[in-house]
Amino acid sequence: MASPSLDEAHPGRFWRRLDDGAVECGLCPRLCRLREGQRGFCFVRANVDGAVALLTYGRTSGFGLDPIEKKPLNHFLPGTAVLSFGTAGCNLGCRFCQNWNLSKSRQMDRLAELATPETIAAAAQKLGCWSVAFTYNDPVIFAEYAMDVADACRAAGIATVAVTAGYMTDESRPEFYRHLDAANVDLKGFSEEFYERQCHGELAPVLETLIYLRQATSVWLEVTTLLIPGENDSDRELGEAADWFAANLGPDVPWHFTAFHPDYKLLDKPRTPPGTLARARAIARARGLRYVYTGNVRDPEGSSTWCPDCGERLIARDGYELRAWHLEVNRCAKCGFVIAGQFAEQPGHWGNRRLPVRLD
Ligand code: SF4
Q: What is the pLDDT of residues 140-182, one digit of tens each?
A: 999 999 999 999 999 999 999 999 999 999 999 999 999 999 9
Distance 87 CA to ligand 1 centre (A): 15
Residues in Cβ contact with 10 at an 8 Å cutoff, skipping those fewer than 6 apart = 4, 53, 54, 55, 57, 58, 144, 145
> Using 50, 70 and 90 to split pLDDT, how confident is the model at 225?
very high
Residue to substitute in 13, 16, 24, 27 for testing ligand 1 pocket (most ligand atoms within 8 angstroms of CB): 27
Q: How far is CA 82 from CA 59, 63, 141, 165, 307, in A?
A: 19, 10, 21, 19, 26
**Is the pLDDT assigned to residue 299 strictly greater than 60?**
yes
**Ligand 1: centre distance to CA 15 (Å):** 10
Of the candidates 96, 48, 287, the residue with the CA atom closest to the CA atom of residue 194: 96
The residues lining ligand 1, judged by C-beta closer than 6 Å to any ligand atom, are: 25, 27-28, 30-32, 40-42, 45, 91, 141
Question: Which residue out of 15, 18, 32 has the highest number of ligand 1 atoms within 8 Å of its CB and is therefore the one to mutate?
Answer: 32
Distance 211 CA to ligand 1 centre (A): 22
Residue of 200, 117, 124 whose CA lies nearest to 165? 200
- Cα three-residue angle 350-351-354, rounded to 5 degrees: 85
Percent of the chain topping pLDDT 70: 94
Amino acid identity, residue 127?
Answer: L
Q: Yes or no: say if 86 and 56 are a contact pair by the CB < 8 Å rule.
A: no
Mutate to test the pocket of ligand 1, among 16, 87, 90, 91 (most ligand atoms within 8 A of CB): 91
Q: 3-state DSSP call for residue 216?
A: helix
235/95: higher pLDDT: 235
Q: Left, alpha or beta for 325 (phi > 0: left; psi -120 to 50: alpha)?
A: beta
Residue 276 CB neighbour total at 10 angstroms = 20
pLDDT band at 4 (very low <50, low <70, confident <90, very high): very low
Q: Which atom of ligand 1 is nearest to the CA of 31?
A: 5
Question: What's the whole-number mean pLDDT along residues 116-137?
Answer: 96
Number of the ligand 1 atom closest to the C-alpha atom of 43: 2
Residue whose C-alpha is closest to residue 242's, from 210, 207, 286: 286
Q: Which of 141, 168, 200 to mutate to test the pocket of ligand 1 (most atoms within 8 A of CB)?
A: 141
Cα distance between residue 83 and residue 358, in whole Å: 11
Give pLDDT tens digits for 301-325. 999 999 999 999 999 999 899 999 9
Distances in Å between the alpha carbon of 250 and those of 63, 191, 288, 290, 294? 34, 20, 9, 9, 19
Residues pairing with 48 in the sheet:
51
Give the C-alpha separation, 86 to 83, whole Å. Answer: 11
pLDDT of residue 2: 37
Please give the number of the atom of ligand 1 that sits closest to the Cα of 28.
6
Question: Across the chain, which distance is largest between two alpha carbons, in Å?
Answer: 66
Confidence of residue 106 (pLDDT cuts 50, 70, 90): low
**CA atoms of 246 and 335, how far apart (whole Å):** 24
Could you say which DSSP state residue 271 is in? Answer: P
Once rounded to an integer, what is the mean pLDDT over residues 128-141?
96
* Rounded distance from Cα 183 to ligand 1 centre (Å): 20
Alpha-carbon distances of 284 from 169, 244, 274, 294, 349, rounded to whole Å: 28, 10, 16, 11, 30
**pLDDT tens readout for residues 259-277:** 998 777 777 888 999 999 9
Q: What is the pLDDT of residues 135-148, one digit of tens each?
A: 989 999 999 999 99
CA distance 53 to 204: 27
